[in-house]
Every structure is written in structure tokens, then in C-alpha cells.
Structure 1
Amino acid sequence: MHEQLINPTLEKFRAEFKEEPEHIFLSPGRINIIGEHVDYSDGFVLPAAIDKYICFAVRKLPQTNLCTIIAKDLAQEYTFDVTTEIKPVRQMWANYILGVFSQLQKPENQFYGMEIVFSSTIPMGSGLSSSAALECGFAYILNELFDLQLSKKEIAVIGQKSEHTFAGVQCGIMDQFASVFGKENKVIMLDCHTLEHQYFDADLKGYNLLLFDSCVKHTHLTSGYNERRKDVEHGKKVLWEKFPDVEKFRDFTTTMLNSVKEEMGNVSYKRCLYLLNEIKRVEMAAKAISEGNIEYVGTLLTETHAGLSTEFEVSCNELDFLVNNTLQQEGVLGARIMGGGFGGCSINLIQEDKAEEVIKNISKKYLESFNIQMKVYQVKISDGIKEYTNEYII
């Protein structure tokens, strides 16, 4: 399966550098089964690494200080000197890598040159965290090649900080954590407050996870996201003024929330109500998955979509259409918008032998209604970042 990604990456490496790479690494994207917008509110999330990857072909060059990185899919390259101070550049993809390197550029870490080619099967801009796979994949490579003794948790945090400092995106830790800590057929229940986590078996019992890409990304994603954060912060402030002894946001009850509804205002109330319910849904979903109660997982996904659409208000016409029409199809247990909102993908839990029919029906309806050809990604839950040995290479 991996050869379709590895072999073209290898061929590009050989063509550009006239040598064989010494290492092959695969860094996965991720899905989030449930738990949207709770990673900055002391919540739990339930992500998993998936079988869509960035493949890195790598060779060390001890005789030089230059690191040359080729982004095969973009037909671009970037070279930097490992001994000079690293600053952000115009090429955004390079910033994810440079942001990682800048954090590790310390006197105790001795680097030298490298040649790297990378290519990806993670769809860009679809909410599957290609940026986290790029950041954490590069941090993992540096850790392995230069024996930096970084823990998995440190690699995830370095990836997140790269996004904050060099890409200007104030993301939570979930994407990076899933890419690093993923395990095949396991979902991760992550406490975004402490970074404590546990794994749950993900036997979907004849059901598939399918992503329907709306192929739209509305321009108010960033402004809408920032507005939601302000709404939530206002709600938290009101809650803590009334209940100062509550330690974490997730410990507030809906009874407490209802008691300050008037003071808080309807908008912040709706945002906080969604978050408190969503945090509980994550815990229930983890339990349901571990017990093999896939029907209930589907119910929870659908409840999350309703909350994201009407309470948190981050959906859009296209995603509401996809979800509502998918839920009417035979063999569908649940569906919801996935990611930050205002476009991107829906995640759908669909009976394996009904999937083809559902895809055909929804694709037709979506094309007729919006004149957009939706994309479909079937994903399987996979391992986190790892090195692949020569036995995989043709």
C-alpha cells in the first residue's frame, strides 16, 4: 500500500540528488472522531492517526552545513544553512519546517547538512492536518538522525510551537499529538489540559469512516474562529466570577451555566453549552467505541453536528447539506462536520456494504445543488510517525 507514495518520492530523490536516500519516514495525517473546539477549553478529544501520509526520503551530508528540502508535490525547494539564525520566509510550507529547526538550534545540538524530498497523500486544506504531519515528521527525522533524545510529547509540542511562531496559527495540541502518538486501530482520548492520554480499541464492526470533502473553505474561517474564542472567553469569565472555586472549565455543570445565562448573553451561553456537552460526548464516545457500541458512536457524531451548526455556529450551507442528506441514507449511523468549520470535510460512519451507494447518491445530490464535485476519502486508523526500512522499497 505504501509503495504508491514511497516509490515516486524515491524516484524524485534519485533524480534530484543522484544518490540513494538513507532513510524513509512516513508521517500521518489525522482525523478527530469527536471533540471539536474543546482543545482550548480544558476538554477531551478523540483523534486518531490515519493511513494518509507525508513520505520523507532523507540523506545526511556531514561534509556540508546546507539542508536542501524539495516539496515534490509543489515543485518547490528550499535550502538553508544549519549554522545560521533561522527566520520565517515567504514559502509557507518551508516555515513549518524552519519553525521546528529554530527550536532545536541550540549549542548542545550539533547539526550538519541534509538532502530531503517529501511527498504526500494527505489532501491539503481538507482538515486532515498535513501541517502537523510536516512539522512533527521533520522533528522526528532530526531526533533520529542527530540523536536528540526527544520524547514523543516533546516532538508534538515542538510541532505545535512551530505552527504558533513561524506559521502564525494558534492551534491546539491535538493534531500534532495524534500524528506522533497514533496506533493502528486505536483512538486516543487526550486530555488537552494535562496531555494525559489513553488508547481505546477502535473495532468499527463492519462500518467505515468516510470523509466527504465539500471542496469549499469560506473566507471567514480565521475571523469566525477568533470570534468564537472571544465568545467562549466571555462566557468563562462570567462563570468563574459566579463560581470561583471551580478549577477547570469542564467541571462547570449545565445547571451552573443556566444560572448565569442572562448575565452572559445568549451568544456566549450557546457557545459554552455546546462545549460542555461536547466534552461529555467525547467521554461517552470513547466508552462506546471500547465496548463496540458503534450505533451509539454514530448518534453522538450527529449530536455534535447539531451543536456545531446551531450552538457554536461554525457550519455552512454546503456542510449542513452533506450531513443532513447523508443521514437520510440507508446504512449511515452518524455524520458531522469535522475540523474548525466554515467548510472542509464531513466525517461519516457508514456500513461497509452500503458505502458505495451512499457515495453515489450524495455526490449526485451535492453536484446538483451546488455544482461542486465532492471528493471522498476512505480512511483507516494507523500508526503514528515511523521509519520504514528498505524491505518496503522497490
Structure 2
Amino acid sequence: MQEQLIKNTSEAFRSAFQSEPERIFLAPGRINIIGEHVDYSDGFVLPAAIDKHICFAVKKTDDSGTCTFFAKDFNESFTFKVKEKQSPVSQTWANYLLGVFNAIQESGKEIGGLQIAFSSTIPMGSGLSSSAALECGFAYILNEIFNLNLTKKALALIGQKAEHTFVGVQCGIMDQFSSVFGKEHRVIMLDCHSLDHQYFEANLDGYSLVLFDSCVKHTHLTSGYNNRRKDVDLGKKALWEKFPAVQKFRDFSFEMLDEARAEMGETSYKRCFYLLKEIKRVEEAAQALSEGNAEYLGKLLNETHAGLSEEFEVSCEELDFMVEKTLRQNGVLGARMMGGGFGGCSINLIKDEHVDEVIETITALYKAAFGIEMKIYRVKISDGINEYKRNELVI
């Protein structure tokens, strides 16, 4: 699939610019194994880059005044002048790139002209972070070609800033960090506040990670997310009023939570209970993965889905159905909704020999229940953004 993507993107470059690309770059999407909604509560997340990519075919041009993009998947082009101050435009996909350029321009770095064609195997709108791959891939390219000497951490933060300022999405840092820092066969345990991180081996021999895309997105995602933030903030306020010496939310104990239960109310109590449990599950999942304990990892995934559905209340009928039916199948160790909620994908840990039959069964059950053709994404944990050269990757 990767070779075909590179071939198709190179052909798109030749067609758009009537010349050969000089360099090829690959920027991956990501999954989050476990750790949902804890990124704004001093918690850890456990993401990994995956083997679905945006491919960029790139050529530095003699005309140092302009950058031109050709988006193969949209069959659209966009050009801007590198000496001018940029502002958002009507072409949404271009704003991810302009935001990156703007952030680098504001730091005083000099950038010349480029021609870029890009194409993707990351399904858009499925929660696999095609936007972060686009942003950080472009930042990585600029850093490499114009010798900007930016660190990997700086590239991730530039991608996040682009999304905040030019796209208007107040995203966390996990997606961008995963795209830049991913390593094959490893997950990243990331503190989204400090950006401290460590790698754990993903020992999953004999098991596959398969995503089931519900193909639904309920309109209350934004309002639901904001309401959950308010519930959590109320709970935190009650906890810190009672225990002001505690430094970070993750350091509160369940005993402290129980003591503050009356002050915060039942809704905030449920939200905070889920978060404290999930923060601990992330650490346990990292350990389980590194030890190759797939059964325990599956148990943790199941607990997370139950918490997201019942305590944090961000699941939906379609995802609950999908997870419940999947867990009844032979060879399934764990299943949970992945992402912010109210739609999107489930992530499923399945024994290799049972993957095909589980896919066939759940696809049929889901179609019968909701009239929707579920999409399937088989993923492997892969390297972060890299340059492709002569059948080898330069990281």
C-alpha cells in the first residue's frame, strides 16, 4: 500500500508540475491505545503512529517567491507567496498548511519556493488524525529542505498552533506529537501537559489491532465535549478546595474523591472517577503491552469503554452496539470506542486467526441494525514522519 501511495503521489506531481519530484516524505496517522479525555487533566495518553500515511512529493524551485500545492485527493491546487503575511482562506485543507507556514514565518525563519503534491491513505474524518499528519508533515519538510534547525517537539507544537490559529480547532498535542515522535512497534506514554514521554514496546505477536468505523458523527460532539470539561472543572474545584496541597489532578486518591463527593455533586463525581481510573489504566496498559500481556490489555480496553459509556457518557448507541457485539465474538480480547466520542471508530484487539470472521460478523450485524456499511481499518504501529529514499526510510 505504501509503495502504491508513493507511486500515485509521484505521478500526481509529474502531472501537476511537468517535472520530477526531488524528495518524498511520509507522515503517519495515529491511534490512541488508551487514555481518552485525560489529556486536559494531568493524565497520560498512549498513542502510536500507524501505517497509513500522507505522502508528499516535493521539489525546491528556482522561483523562491511562491509555494504551490496540489492536493491529489481533492484534485485542487493552491499557491501562496512566501514573502507575504498569510491569513485563512476558503479552501479548508490549505489552511492546515498556511497555518504551519505562518507559525514558522512568525519565528523569523526564511523559507523559499516549493512545489508539493500530496495524497493520503489516512481516512479523513475517522479520528486517525489526517490533519496532524498534514500539518506536521509540511513542517517537517520545511525544516529539512530549508535547514531550519527546529526540534521534533517544536514541529509538533507548530502543527498544533496551525490548527488553533488557521483552522479554529482547539486540539490537544497528542495527534501532532504521535505523528512526529512515532516509532515502529512502540507506543508513546505522553504527559500532554509537560510533553514528557517514554516509549514502551508493543508486543502484540499473534494479535491484531483493527478499527471499526461506525461512519456516524453526532452533532453534539462539540457541546458534549464542552459540557464534560465544565463537569470536570467543577469536580477539580471541589477537590482543590478540600486538598490544596495536591499538585496535579492525577495525584488525587479515590478516598479524596469520595470525601469531596457531596460538594461536587454526582455528575462531576462520575466524571472525575472515570478520569482517575483512566489515568491509572494508561500506566497499566503500557506495562501490559511491554510484557506482551494481551489478555490484560484487552481487559483494560473493555474497562475504558464501560467508563466512557457509563461514567463519562460520551459514547452513542452505534458504538455501544458495535463494542457489545464485538466482545461476544471468538478471539476478541478487548474493544472500546476511540476518540472524543459521539461517533467515530472502535479499536479492537483480536487474535490473528479470528480477525476475518469477526469483521464479517460485525459488519453484517451493524448493517442489519443501523443500515450503515461499517468501514474496516487494519493498522500496524509504525514510524513517525520520515523521508523515503531508494526503498528505505530516513528518519
Question: What TM-score, normalized to structure 2?
Answer: 0.98
Residue type of the alignment partner of 2:34: I
Q: Distance in 1 between matches of 2:378 and 2:369?
A: 23
Task: Work out the CA distance in 2 between the residues paired with 1:193 and 1:333.
Answer: 31
C-alpha separation in 2, matches of 1:254 and 1:107: 44
Return 206-215 or 252-261, whichever deviates more: 252-261
Query: How does 1:33-48 map onto structure 2 within 5 Å?
Result: 33-48=33-48
C-alpha deviation, 1:147, in angstroms: 0.4
**C-alpha separation in 2, matches of 1:84 and 1:130:** 27
After TM superposition, list the pairs within 5 Å mapping 1:103-114 onto structure 2. 103-106=103-106, 108-114=108-114
Give 1:62 deviation, angstroms. Answer: 3.1
Question: How far apart, in 1, do the equivalents of 2:123 and 2:272 lie?
Answer: 32
Q: Secondary structure at the match of 1:325?
A: helix
Q: Give the corresponding residue for 1:287.
A: 287
Return the alpha-carbon distance in structure 2 between the equivalents of residues 260 and 96 of structure 1: 43
**Partners of 2:168 and 2:371 in 1: how far apart?**
33
In the alignment, which residue of structure 2 is the partner of 1:51? 51
- Correspondence list, 1:179-328, <5 A: 179-328=179-328
* Larger CA deviation: 368-377 vs 220-229: 220-229
The whole-number CA distance in structure 2 between the counterparts of 1:64 and 1:349 is 49
Say whether residues 1:150 and 2:150 are aligned partners: yes
What does 1:370-381 align with in structure 2 at a 5 Å threshold?
370-381=370-381
Structure 2 distance, partners of 1:107, 1:203, is 41
Q: For residues 25-61 of structure 1, give each alpha carbon's deviation from its aligned partner in whole angstroms, at most 9, with x where no partner exists.
A: 0000000000001111110010000000000001111
1:336 counterpart SS class: strand
Please give the alpha-carbon distance, in whole angstroms, between the structure 2 residues aligned to 1:318 and 1:190: 30
> How many Å separate the matches in 1 of 2:109 and 2:284?
44
1:128 aligns with 2:128: yes
Contact 2:112 2:146 (8 Å CA) reproduced: no
1:141 is aligned to: 141
Supply the distance in 2 between the matched residues of 1:165 and 1:238 (Cα, whole angstroms): 33
2:200·2:290 contact (CA, 8 Å) conserved in 1? yes
Aligned length: 393
Counterpart of 1:333 in structure 2 is 333
The corresponding residue for 1:117 is 117
Shift in Å at residue 283 of structure 1?
A: 0.3
Q: Deviations over 1:145-182 (max 9, x none)?
A: 11000111110111111111111111111111110000
Amino acid at match of 2:9: T
Letter in 1 for 2:78: Y
Instruction: Tell me how far apart the structure 2 counterparts of residues 107 and 375 of structure 1 sit (CA, whole Å).
Output: 41
- Tell me by how many angstroms 1:63 deviates: 2.4
The one-letter code of the counterpart of 1:194 is S
Identical-pair percentage: 68
Q: Secondary structure at the match of 1:166?
A: helix
Q: Secondary structure at the match of 1:344?
A: strand
Three-state SS of the structure 2 residue aligned to 1:306 is helix
Whole-Å Cα distance in 2 between the matches of residues 51 and 185 of structure 1? 11
SS at match of 2:241: helix
Q: Distance in 2 between matches of 1:94 and 1:253?
A: 46
- The alpha-carbon deviation at position 390 of structure 1 amounts to 3.7
Shift of 1:108: 4.2
Is contact 1:3-1:392 (8 Å) kept?
A: no
The residue matched to 1:320 in structure 2 has which SS? helix
Once structures 1 and 2 are overlaid, which stretch shifts more, 18-27 or 73-82? 73-82
Secondary structure at 1:340 match in 2: coil
| Equivalent residues of 2:38, 2:275 under 8 A apart | yes
| One-letter amino acid of the structure 1 residue matched with residue 186 of structure 2 | K
Read off the aligned partner of 1:355 and give its amino acid letter: V
Partner-residue secondary structure (3-state), 2:349: strand
CA contact (8 A) 2:44 2:282 kept: yes
Aligned mates of 2:392, 2:193 — CA distance in 1: 38
The gaps in structure 1 that reach 5 residues or longer are none
321-330 vs 70-79, which moves further = 70-79
What CA distance in whole angstroms lies between the structure 2 residues aligned with 1:242 and 1:169?
A: 34
Q: Report the AA paired with residue 331 of structure 1.
A: G
Q: Which amino acid aligns with 1:20?
A: E
Which stretch has the larger CA shift, 48-57 or 93-102?
Answer: 93-102
Contact 1:205 / 1:294 at 8 angstroms: preserved in 2?
A: no
In 2: Cα distance, 1:208 partner to 1:179 partner: 21
SS in 2 for 1:48: strand
One-letter identity of the residue aligned with 1:50:
I
Task: Indicate conservation of the 8 Å contact 1:35/1:46, yes or no.
Answer: yes
Cα distance in 2 for residues equivalent to 1:186 and 1:392 = 19
Distance 1:75 1:180 in 2: 27
Q: Which stretch has the larger CA shift, 265-274 or 209-218?
A: 265-274
Q: Residue type matched to 1:232 in 2?
A: V
What is the TM-score of this pair, normalised by structure 1?
0.98
> Does the CA-based 8 Å contact 2:178-2:188 persist in structure 1?
yes
Q: Deviations over 1:203-235 (max 9, x none)?
A: 112010000000001111111111111111111
CA distance in 1, matches of 2:198, 2:64: 43
- Alignment of 1:98 with 2:98, yes or no, is yes
Question: Residue 10 in 1 paired to residue 10 in 2?
Answer: yes
Contact 2:24 2:56 (8 Å CA) reproduced: yes
Cα deviation digits, residues 258-308 of structure 1 (max 9, x gap) = 111111011111111110000000000001111111100000000000000
